[in-house]
Chain A
Amino acid sequence: DGGITQSPKYLFRKEGQNVTLSCEQNLNHDAMYWYRQDPGQGLRLIYYSQIVNDFQKGDIAEGYSVSREKKESFPLTVTSAQKNPTAFYLCASSIDIGSPLHFGNGTRLTVT
């Protein structure tokens, strides 16, 4: 079955540590995205990538970094510079501009 796999489901880290969230898709989609969701807020775009080896900052990119070395993979690193990293992180993909987003199951990150 085609889909998007995010791992791990839950992640706990100490403040000051970098952490990398995994996102893999086998839908053959060109575009991939990272969103952050906080309680009572809409999804906010962190980074997106239209093609391999290219990515663009979203609305809240500070304190995050990404890479897109393969079409299937779009990992997100939450760095120690991110002031409030505790959140629900969602990876998504779409086949092209304006097409529906398909989401992974999410990673819930808790930093203490």
Chain B
Amino acid sequence: QKEVEQNSGPLSVPEGAIASLNCTYSDRGSQSFFWYRQYSGKSPELIMFIYSNGDKEDGRFTAQLNKASQYVSLLIRDSQPSDSATYLCAVNRASGTYKYIFGTGTRLKVLA
């Protein structure tokens, strides 16, 4: 089992729809969770981070964390073609380490 798992996609959604991206992790001691957007050939860009169970909203983006189910998700409302990219989920292990574990990413395609 991979430490951080994501469906590679592509996930295709029409413009204006809600895109739902999912990520599961194996280490129950994980404490910090991050979503990055990566355009082809570019470096990852931080979209959201979440530390506590529940939802965290920032503009069109909502991160959802469920530690009991070891599941974190990213919702993108009113999806735009410019949202088309690969979305990376990253998890920071239990306290005392600087090691962040990345999933392989989900490719999102927003169709105009």
**Residues on A close to B: CB < 8 A?**
31, 33, 35, 40-43, 45, 48, 50, 56, 58, 90, 94, 97-106
Contact = CB atoms under 8 A, between A and B. Distances in A.
Interface of B: 4, 8, 31-32, 34, 42-46, 49, 51, 88, 90, 92, 95-105
A106 B96 contact: no
Contacts of A98: 31-32, 51, 92, 95
Main secondary structure of the interface of A (DSSP, over half): loop
A31 B49 CA distance: 18
B98 A42 contact: no
B43 A90 contact: yes
Contacts of A40: 8, 104
B45 to A, nearest CB: 7
Nearest to B93: A98
A106 B43 contact: yes
B83 to A, nearest CB: 19
14 contacts: A33-B98, A35-B102, A40-B8, A42-B88, A42-B101, A42-B102, A42-B103, A58-B99, A90-B43, A98-B31, A101-B34, A101-B90, A104-B43, A105-B42
